[in-house]
């Protein structure tokens, strides 16, 4: 089945001015400009939220992927016995891009004592690579549609996710050993109209108990901030951090 993108690529690719075949030049220019616009839109969203990988990083990854895809298509012609030129496997170079950008995205992931940060940014770095490959392979409609879905996921779905987790915070609490911390947490939870679930405990450092748990509540008056403040007043508690933070 012929797609609209293929029709556009074929029409432009066969465009000549006199003896000059400028069709491929126009196609490549469109691909690069579109990669700048689409990957830049995703990068701006990350930049606006103050992420470590922002506009420039996403632009470089997207444009680089687009260029490598174009090189993969047009850069390695092979002359056959009949004298015609055919290209090698288009996907070979693109496959290496997927692997390489995966390592780059992993660099955006930061592990701290209060959880893992940067997973979404790592995912957007990987996805702008896919947008760049789509642009470079002249799948313009796929690239545009994919970018729209990505931006909706990063904005609209974020608000929806925040509402879902508003009354189900995941907390990590550090306390001194030898204190009845768990019993006091359950008492505070009852006072705050919530239930403590999924409790995991471990010895973080010498003399320090680390508790990770989820607090759920059906009450419209439940306040995560007030609950954390009450936990901080428990005897022996060192600090309390919220893991599922939305920024």
pLDDT tens for the chain, 247 residues: list them.
667 777 777 777 777 777 777 888 888 899 999 999 999 999 998 888 777 678 898 999 999 999 999 888 877 666 655 656 566 667 777 788 888 887 776 766 665 554 566 778 888 899 999 999 999 988 999 999 999 999 998 888 776 666 666 667 888 888 888 888 889 999 998 888 888 888 888 887 677 888 888 888 887 778 888 888 898 889 888 888 877 654 4
Give 163: exposed, middle or buried? Use CB within 10 Å, 0-12, 13-18, 19+: exposed
Q: Is the dihedral of CA 19, 24, 28, 34 positive or negative?
A: positive
**Domain at 170-242, CATH from 3.30.365.10, 3.30.70.60, 3.40.640.10, 3.40.50.300:** 3.30.70.60
pTM over 0.75: no
Q: How far apart are CA 212 and CA 237, in angstroms?
A: 13
Question: CATH 3.30.70.60: which residues of the chain?
Answer: 170-242
Q: How far apart are CA 72 and CA 76, in angstroms?
A: 7
Query: Cα 215 to the chain's mean position, in Å?
Result: 27
Residue pair 54/40 in contact (Cβ under 8 Å)? The answer is no
Sheet holding 208-216, edge to edge: 195-205, 208-216, 170-176, 237-242
Query: Around Cβ 227, how many Cβ atoms within 10 Å?
Result: 23
| Residue 172 bridge partners (DSSP) | 212, 241
């Amino acid at each position: 089945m012929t797609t609209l993108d293929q029709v556009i690529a074929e029409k432009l690719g066969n465009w000549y001015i006199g003896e000059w075949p400028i069709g491929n030049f126009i196609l490549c220019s469109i691909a690069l400009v579109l990669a700048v616009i689409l990957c830049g839109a995703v990068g701006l969203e990350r930049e606006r939220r103050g992420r470590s990988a922002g506009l420039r990083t996403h632009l470089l990854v997207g444009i680089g992927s687009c260029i490598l895809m174009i090189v993969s298509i047009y850069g390695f012609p092979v002359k056959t016995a009949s004298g015609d030129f055919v290209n090698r496997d288009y996907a070979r170079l693109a496959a290496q891009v997927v692997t390489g950008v995966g390592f780059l995205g992993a660099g955006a992931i930061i592990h701290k004592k209060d959880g893992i940060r940067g997973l979404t940014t790592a995912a957007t770095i990987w996805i702008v690579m896919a947008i760049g490959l789509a642009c470079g392979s002249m799948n313009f409609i796929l690239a545009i549609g994919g970018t729209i879905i990505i931006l909706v996921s990063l904005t609209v779905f974020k608000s929806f996710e925040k509402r879902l987790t508003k009354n189900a915070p995941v907390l990590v609490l550090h306390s001194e050993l030898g204190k009845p911390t768990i019993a006091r947490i359950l008492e505070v939870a009852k006072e705050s109209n919530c239930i403590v679930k999924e409790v995991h405990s471990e010895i973080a450092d010498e003399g320090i108990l680390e508790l990770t748990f989820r607090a759920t509540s059906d009450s419209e008056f439940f306040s995560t901030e007030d609950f954390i403040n009450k936990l901080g007043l428990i005897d022996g508690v060192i600090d309390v951090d919220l893991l599922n933070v939305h920024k």
